[in-house]
Copies of this chain bind each other. A is one copy, B any other.
Amino acid sequence: MAETDAKSPAGTTGDPAPARRGPGRPPGRRAGTGETRTTILDAARTEFAARGYAATSVRAIARGANVDPALVHHYFGSKSKVFIAAMELPIDPDVIVERVFAEGPEHAGARLAATFLGLWEELAARERLLAMLRTAVLGDDNSATREFVTVELTARLAERIGTADAPLRANLAVSQLLGIALTRHVLCLEPIASTPRAEIEARIAPVLQRHLDGGPRVA
């Protein structure tokens, strides 16, 4: 795997901070490029596991890796991207949200359905998603991932939805998606497990659209 900037996930929002060195930071710690990247990821995993997602800062990760925070920004772009790389997440909320709203909010349900179901078609992503689902359900050490989903995915979706109840709407859309993952790919209930992807997509698109943009409040 090439350890270059070309590896940065698309849709980076983190500002590429100018190179600066913190006081008292020993210079010359940057050994090989790949090694530095690995050191940062190891430090990130330690910090996220110990403190969760929200309470961990790029500065703390840099301190743990004994590098300048600018270097973390240089390699990854933002805390979100460090987390994605450290946890080998197959999803980048920035990219997903961008793609989902690319054709306007009235198509967000259909785009979200297509994007999510598409992920499960890729073997590596599918296995990683299944592993995440298992870890989450077991309740083992999933607080950082849960916080990440809340802070990054829910908040970004909610920003685009824009209503006061947007975070709940985002959660409801996620609930429908995870329910599809669970019934189709984990429990393998029939007939949903063997229904063609396009059919599932067509069924859930209007439901996701409704979760996202409403329709009349029932209560």
Contact = CB atoms under 8 A, between A and B. Distances in A.
Number of copies: 2
Contacts of A217: 202
A199 interface: yes
A138 B175 CA distance: 19
* Interface of chain A: mostly helix, strand, loop or mixed: helix
Interface stretch (A21-29, A67-75, A205-213): A205-213
A91 interface: no
Contacts of A199: 168, 219
A171 B192 contact: yes
Contact of A137 (B133, B195, B201, B215): B133
Interface residues on A, range: 35 or more
A146 B206 contact: no
A218 B114 CA distance: 13
Contact of A136 (B142, B177, B187): B187
A172 B219 contact: no
A149 B191 CA distance: 12
A199 B184 CA distance: 27
Given A177-B179, A178-B182, A215 B206 contact: yes
Interface pairs A-B: 3 shortest CB-CB: A179-B179, A202-B219, A175-B179
